[in-house]
Amino acid sequence: MKLELGNIYIKDIQFTEGEAKIDDHILYVNKEAAAAAALGEEEHLASVSFDIAKPGESVRITPVKDVIEPRVKVEGRGGIFPGVIAKVDTVGSGKTYCLKGMAVVTAGKIVGFQEGVIDMSGEGAKYTPFSQTLNLVMVCTPVEGLKQHEYEAAVRFAGFRLATYIGELARDLTPDDTKVYETYGIMEGKEKFPNLPRVAYVQMLQSQGLLHDTYVYGVDAKKTLSTIMNPTETMDGAIVSGNCVSACDKNPTYVHENNPVIADLFEEHGKTINFVCQILTNENVYLADKMRSSDWTAKLCRLLDLDGIILSQEGFGNPDTDLIMNCKKIEAEGVKTVIITDEYAGRDGKSQSLADADVAADAVVTGGNANQVVILPKLDKVIGTMDYITKIAGASEETLRADGTLEVELQVLTGATNETGFNKLSAR
């Protein structure tokens, strides 16, 4: 399967009373047209409003629900966000255009306590990757009396509709650059790269329910068994976020579209490894479900005759059990395993980092300690609302100081310790 990704670099976002368009790398947004596209026939949102946040500005966005990169399918089967916005069809081939350097961010009244903050400047900007993107922020207001899960779904679909609408503005443009991604059938790949180690990416998808869900072709991942997917399918939006897991290690839809594990494996594909496929598995709550999913994941690794895998999780605590189960069982099949996680080691860094452990987990990449304390400055402008800033995960009743600064853990910052490596932390 071969996919061409054409990148169109957005240098600015501006509002206009006229036609929405992309001209000379500037995105012009008509608020009325954007609202109409985002709301559609949505009954659960009373209104949406728009703002723009640019790198370096004294702006805070909160509570952040999702971050999405606009894309448009210009050739090949299906469309962006299959099973959600586009009809159900296998994606991952043909040609897709991506609007780089910008994102659609959804915010508004809080859904669940695990929602985050994006600071465009100051100390917080050092930790969230989305301080570097031009952000078109849509603040959503629910109708009165709406249940949490209905509100989450309404905001989720509004975000995808808006991102799809913005992506369509690029359909007739010429990309600034294009990159080709190609994988092969099992036997074809083995014949093409007979001497290269066979490697796959095993991605654990958050699927604990209660506002902690991820969707694959529109299907809630907790309803699925471990399965194989071509990694280019994720680039066309086959996996989307629908969860309120802690902001620091949540995978917003933007991260699924730009998964750095997939990107790095493709960089080595045909050179040092044969990137065979992506294996999806879920993170359910009950022990029997965890055992079933990890059994299937290990079985797939063996059936594919893999030499090694990279395993990433999403979230912490309960999913740590899935992480270690997967690692232990895959290693037992003779497949070398590297895990990517983050840590909740306490504010002093001295607590046990993961809720589970095993000697098989001897190759670990960490996204950092989510309990690390940072002081965020008072910023000039807030997009969204600060009403819940002491309630979100990583904050406390003492978070808001008298001088307007915030004492928080990295948990509150969107993407700060992301477990695919889509973050800004590093070790020296």
**Catalytic sites, residue numbers:** 244
Beta-sheet strands, E only, within 325-372? 336-343, 364-369
**What is the spatial distance between Cα 166 and Cα 405, in angstroms, rounded to a whole number?**
35
Integer CA distances (angstroms), 198 to 271, 301, 331, in order: 12, 10, 15
Angle between helices 287-303 and 318-332 (to 10 degrees): 30
Integer CA distances (angstroms), 288 to 32, 166, 224, 284, 392, in order: 49, 43, 14, 9, 31
Would you say 39 and 116 are in contact if contact means Cβ atoms under 8 Å apart? no
**What is the spatial distance between Cα 211 and Cα 151, in angstroms, rounded to a whole number?**
10
CB neighbours of 303 closer than 8 A, spacing ≥ 6?
none
Cis peptide before 55 (omega within 30 of 0): no
* Dihedrals phi, psi of 352, to nearest 5 degrees: -60, 130
CB neighbours of 403 closer than 8 A, spacing ≥ 6?
378
* Residue closest to 20 by CA, chosen among 11, 30, 10, 12: 30
